[in-house]
Amino acid sequence: MKRIDLIRYLLSHGCELFREGGNHSVYINREKQRSSAVPRHREINDFLAKKICRDLQIPDE
């Protein structure tokens, strides 16, 4: 999955960019009080994308 597609999906489910790290961007779900790091690669493995969604407690894409 492309990183930009995952970010659009996260934003559409109420997640926000919390901060930019060295190699990752940290997104948070304020409603559920959860956070997860999204790596800065063009392609993100589908397994990792599902884990990020589970960490943020939003439905898997």
Per-residue pLDDT tens over the stretch 20-56: 999 999 999 999 999 999 999 999 999 999 999 999 9
What 3-state class would DSSP assign to 13? coil
The Cβ-side half-sphere exposure at 41, using a 13 Å CA radius, reads 10
Alpha helices in the chain (DSSP H): 3-12, 46-55
Give the predicted TM-score (pTM) of the model.
0.92
| Confidence band of 6 (pLDDT split at 50, 70, 90) | very high
pLDDT at 9 over 90: yes
What pLDDT sits at residue 61?
74
What pLDDT sits at residue 38?
97
Pair 9, 61: CB distance under 8 Å = yes
Other residues' Cβ atoms within 10 Å of the Cβ of residue 15: 25
pLDDT at 60 over 90: no
